[in-house]
Amino acid sequence: MIELSNRNLAIEHLLGKKMGTGLRVFLLNDDDSLERLPLAKFERLRRGDRKESLPQYAGKRIRYALVVVEMENRRPVAIIMVQYSYLYFDSKGRIDPVEREKAATLAVNMVPPSRKEGQIGGLINAHHRFAKKHYDRQYTWTPTQEIVESIVTAIFGEHPAVG
């Protein structure tokens, strides 16, 4: 039996294509304009690297879009998924560790309980549902059609290939 990753590599080799996935990170300014953030810088910010900051966002909550793209021959060919979230910055322009911890705690609390824990007596444990609502309200946002179109244009250019 061929592992999926090996199977994909074999298919790519036969087709002469190099396929994979990539990530794009876009910060949204107050006027809904996009600013692409290099993935390496985003990862350093998320890890809390003391040398990395965005001072122009100090003390602010900024919308961002994390876009997973399918790549073929190093070019994006499809958008697989987009996560629309907020980044909270501290007074030095670093990702706020307190907010990051709050978001992580809520994310863990969103995991549904096991069947045994799900019902106590006649009560149903809905803690995870409340945590999800709180997380969505505090840490996610919904884009306008114009923002979606701007992201698509930023990834594929003015005239994305159809096919």
Helix runs in 110-143, H state only: 115-118, 127-139
Structure tokens belonging to residue 64: 């961002």
**What is the number of structural domains in the chain?**
1
* Chain segment 71-89, per-residue pLDDT in tens: 988 899 999 999 999 999 9
pTM of the prediction? 0.76
Domain that holds residue 35: 19-156
Task: Tell me the pLDDT band of 15, cut-offs 50, 70 and 90.
Answer: low
Average pLDDT over residues 126-131: 74
Helix runs in the chain, H state only: 4-15, 39-47, 97-109, 115-118, 127-139, 145-156
Residue 7 lies in a domain: no
Maximal CA-CA distance, the chain:
60
Task: Tell me the pLDDT band of 8, cut-offs 50, 70 and 90.
Answer: low
Residue 124 lies in a domain: yes
